[in-house]
Amino acid sequence: MKKKLALLLAGVLLVGTLGGCGAASTNDTGADVKETDRQTEADREGTKPAESQQASGETVELIWYVAGNGPQADTQAVLDEANKYLLEKLNCTLKIVETDFGSYDQKMQMVIASQEEFDLCYTAHWSNNFYNNINKNAFLELDDLLNQYAPDLKTLIPQEGWDAAKVKGNIYGVPNMQIWAMTNAVMLVKEYVDKYNFDTTSVKGLKDLEPLLEAIKADNPGMYPFACNKGGMLDFLTFNMGYDELAGRHIPGVVMLDDQDLKVINQFELPQVMEHYKMMYEWNKKGYIRQDAATLNDSNMEMKSGLHAASLTGTLKPGLDVIAKELFGGRDVINVPLSDSWLPTTGITATMTAISRTSKHPEKAMEFLNLFNTDPYIYNLITQGIEGKHYEKIDDIYIRPIENSGYAPNADWMYGNQFLAYLKEGQGKDDWADTIELNKIAKPTPALGFVFDPTNVQNEIASVSAVVKEYELSLDTGSVNPEKTMPVFLEKLKQAGSQVIIDEVQKQIDEWKAAK
């Protein structure tokens, strides 16, 4: 198996998604994938109420905020089917509120600030910020709820997963079981790679793509060869740049991957980051990316329509060639690694589910998470839709999505235990087993297991975040000249307290290292 995965990473075409991220596990992920793990329709219909976990008392509705491709036309039809099952199993119903990734942060900030009542939400270190929300007292501690209402879920996820989800010793999120090893990569439409005889083995960084992008732009002036939106590029290049984020997304405070001494530094002062911003500025001027990238919520429609021929992915993993093909409107894609595979704490915290402190039904929400992450029927219904309407079943483990069906969230990794998912046509039968193995063999980052507690520097983080919002995304989309903007950006970061944050991270990681 290890030899097979080494070959995959060396050159076989692995694919990553735009939002799919992962983290590291040195132990078994708790998932032994078998064909019998996926519940058939006949199995479901044979389930008797007496065998269910039906709760007594009032039926409750759980509200779940998720990010992804935005609202789907058939979401309610899917929920109608799901709620029949949930009423039988848990005496509850589910309402899903879908938002595209580009708008999700702002949406959740408003929802949480207004203390709106809801039960569950997608959260991560990079989206609907996990740590900021804990500081805002927005999420519930889950330790007691897990022990009492989710024993199967507690056992399913390995201990390092729960450790990564802890702040001040308490668990605040349920890590999603999926790819936990992170490999930065670029997705290239094969048609253009072949047309221009481009040597993908020469690609070590984005700069190496310029001959291909130049050729595509010259022959197709209306195209913007590389997909870019207001999320920028740097999030998908941290391991290519050689560092591990510790203080939070775009917050100064990283450790270099080759530094066993764990010296904490400001990543925005790194020369490779400056070179990246210079490159983005040139790409913007040359039309390799859209000039209005800083205003775009996402690039999904443009990728499907053929406006783009390349995009970054933060996580290269087995079996996502089908998803990459969908992202690019059915065109074949070649995926090129830009880094080694690493095991970081942030991979685990890259995709989690939290329970809101405003929830009136936290016990039921935890019962739902226990069921959803261990029951193949309800997981696949929510992530894939209704059989015969949104997908066709090829056999017990393979499905074929129905084109323009009205339901294609295309984000299995975001909802929960992806190892329950049906495989899509074109995926390898061993993809989930290979993913589990990849989680095991990826390189552990020097700071694997360290979780930063931002309590002592909340004010500085808020001030620094405001500066980052003002300057960084403009730099990362090539909208401003970095030669002029970077000195101002770095000075304002210092004034906002970046060094105070770095010093606090250093203090905590020194203590963590000493206690190991």
User: Does residue 67 lie within any of the structural domains?
Assistant: yes
Please state the three-class secondary structure of 296-317 as a single string.
CCCCHHHHHHCCCCEEEECCCE
Residue 410 lies in a domain: yes
What's the pLDDT score for residue 314?
A: 78
Q: How many domains does the structure of the chain reveal?
A: 1
- Parent domain of 415: 30-179+347-422
* End-to-end alpha carbon distance in the chain: 31
Residue 507 belongs to some domain of the structure: no
What is the pLDDT at residue 515?
87
Tens digits of per-residue pLDDT, 413-426? Answer: 999 999 999 998 87
Question: d(Cα 95, Cα 120) in Å, to the nearest integer?
Answer: 10
Give the tens place of pLDDT for each residue, 293-318. 999 988 989 999 999 999 999 789 88
Q: Per the domain annotation, does 48 fall within a domain?
A: yes
Tell me what the mean pLDDT of segment 449-462 comes to: 91
Closest CA to 393 of 381, 405, 403, 401: 401
C-beta separation of 445 from 164 below 8 A: no
* Nearest-10 crossing angle of helices 482-496, 458-476: 170
Mean pLDDT of the chain: 89
pLDDT of residue 66: 97
Is residue 309 in a domain? no
Is residue 365 a part of any domain in this protein? yes
pTM: 0.74
- The CATH code of the domain that includes 397 is 3.40.190.10
Question: Would residue 266 count as lying in a domain?
Answer: no
Determine which helix (DSSP H) or strand (DSSP E) holds 335, and give its type and residue range.
Answer: strand 333-337
- Look at residue 225 and tell me if it is in a domain: no
